[in-house]
Amino acid sequence: MPADFRIEPARPQDVPHVFALIRALADYERLAHLVSGSEAQLREELFGARPVIECVLGWEGAQPVAFALFFHNFSSFLARRGLYLEDLFVVPEARGKGYGKALMRHLARLAVERGCGRFEWAVLDWNRPAIDFYRSLGADVLPDWRICRLTGEALARFAARG
């Protein structure tokens, strides 16, 4: 790994970089049409009165080339909180240098330091490079769990029903 790579917590002035990396991730995942949030919303969730997410950036010199966005969840079975990775992304030109692994190790250490019972995330079933990467870290890819989601109008309709 290049000596000029470092991982630092995102700061308020980094929000434009984080948002640009989120857009790049959405493009990679072929989900750009689903990005509806704004930098202002991201700033509020990261640094507002009640932050709900955290972010670290991977820097190559003065350039942000990677990020991880995460938050705490909870396992009722373990009766302990966990660390949930929402997004991990390394720009294509910086891949293969160990940055993704460094970010994952950074988050694993945070999870251990914070007493988390587990560190987990989701991966798209077509993303074979990511699946192989996660398995190389020792992660289990759970075959029997599916993500369920209510968003937008479906969420509003369901919430409004009597």
Spell out the residues 6+ positions from residue 118 whose beta carbon is closer than 8 angstroms to its own: 75, 78, 80, 82, 83, 111
Catalytic entry in 28, 84, 99, 134: 134
Distance between CA atoms of residues 84 and 109, nearest Å: 13
What's the CA gap between 109 and 107, in Å, rounded? 5
CA distance 75 to 58: 29
The tokens for 96 are 């293969």
Is 134 catalytic? The answer is yes
> Could you give the residue numbers annotated as active site?
134
